[in-house]
Amino acid sequence: MKPRIKATRQRNPELALTVNETPNIDGRSVLLPERYPTPDLFICDVLDAIPKDDMASMEHPIFSLATKPDRRIFRYEHNGNTVEIVPSVKGLATIHDKDILIYCISQLIAKMNQGEQPNRTLHLTARDLLVWTNRQTDGDGYKRLRSAFERLAGTRITTNIKANGEEITEGFGLINEWRIVRKTNSGQMSEIKVTLSEWLFRMIEGRSVLTLHRDYFRLRKPLERRIYELARKHCGAQEKWVVSIEILQKKTGASSHIRVFRSMLRDLAINNHLPDYAVEINSNTVTFRNRETMDTVKVIEPKLQKPFVDPEGFHDARGVAPGYDVYALYDEWVSWWNDSGQPELQNPSAAFVGFCRNRHKRNPIR
């Protein structure tokens, strides 16, 4: 049996300065500090859950990139998909609030990989959530956590994005309800109960998710997190993804002037700190290159084993799963195979085609 891949960090000293700790112009590291390099033993099982994100919100700008309360009504249209996001009086849910959903998605996928039935309602420990997402566990950390729940529940979304093979135009909150139980002596949160929206839960049940690098939670700027999501979704395991600066700005949902957006992209390319992908800026395009395919870049984390699928296998996969992005399916299949601890594959191409056939059978795209 192949040993299971654990999502624990292994430092590479050769990359300590060039990637992880590159100083910015103001003297700070471009990445947040890794606050919990050695996690407490009693939450190791929780921390072992590999970060997962739903592909719909990776593709479409559902979360605000603002650092102050954002109370605008935001509408996005692209390739037939429409999203309208309406804030509550607390403002739109932010890209940092999304950490809570990533945590919930990751825990449910980990349970599904162990054969358990997922449930829309989760019972969480606040400290586990904060540690897993690399957040501070002081009083301010708990206060920010409560505010995040309020924005997630208050933000209303109307969309026709497909969820698990169905296209339904509907309105919903990102979470249906939440509850915090506090210890009366310390005043800290002891238990959190959260019920995910049915739309997001269908995404999880259909495994419409992708694995994230753990350094995602160390990215300081909201735009950097959003750009990483897009690179992860569109480049995936491919060698590169090229996109126009105009389209990239639209996909991020950034409201800044194009000159400011270009400047932020140049900083990202110069610092070279985006997990998994290197960024190159040309006159009117941005190229994201997969670090694993670049000879000059060392590996930051243990690489997932990636069974080789020949071009004929990808061709057959397109035939059995029409309408699907076979490279995104390959990414998902590799992640699932590593997570589930399956034995070595005798015929990876055939196994991948079978995975695509089953996905299309369950969720045909019409």
Q: Given pLDDT bands bounded at 50, 70 and 90, which one contains residue 222? A: very high
- The pLDDT assigned to 245 comes to 94
Task: Indicate whether 318 pLDDT > 60.
Answer: yes
End-to-end CA distance of the chain: 38
Q: Which of 145, 281, 307, 304 is nearest to 213 (CA)?
A: 304
d(CA 163, CA 159) in angstroms, rounded, equals 10
Q: What is the pLDDT of the chain when averaged over all its residues?
A: 81
Give me the pLDDT at residue 217, please: 94
Tell me the mean pLDDT in the region 189-212.
Answer: 88
Each domain of the chain, given as residue ranges in start order, spans: 44-218, 220-301, 311-362
Q: Is the CB of residue 14 less than 8 Å from the CB of residue 298?
A: yes
Q: Which is higher by pLDDT, 69 or 27?
A: 69
DSSP annotation of 19 reads I
240-244 β-sheet, strand order: 240-244, 285-290, 277-281
Cβ proximity of 76 and 83 under 8 Å: yes
pTM score, whole prediction: 0.70
Report which secondary-structure segment, H or E, holds 317.
Answer: helix 311-320
Confidence check: pLDDT of 46 > 60: no
Say what the pLDDT of residue 45 is. 42
pLDDT (average), residues 334-351: 77
Q: What is the mean pLDDT of residues 280-299?
A: 78
The string of pLDDT tens digits covering residues 258-275 is 999 999 999 999 999 999
**Once rounded to an integer, what is the mean pLDDT over residues 36-41?**
51
Taking only the tens place, the pLDDT of each residue in 81-139 is: 788 999 999 999 999 999 999 999 999 988 888 888 989 999 988 888 999 999 988 88
pLDDT band at 299 (very low <50, low <70, confident <90, very high): very low
**Which residues, 6+ apart, have CB-to-CB distance to 281 below 8 Å?**
245, 262, 265, 266, 269
CATH architecture of 220-301: Orthogonal Bundle (1.10)
In this prediction, residue 345 carries a pLDDT of 78
Q: Which residue matches tokens 């029409």?
A: 322
What are the tens digits of pLDDT across the range 145-193?
A: 999 999 999 999 888 766 556 666 778 888 999 998 876 565 666 788 9
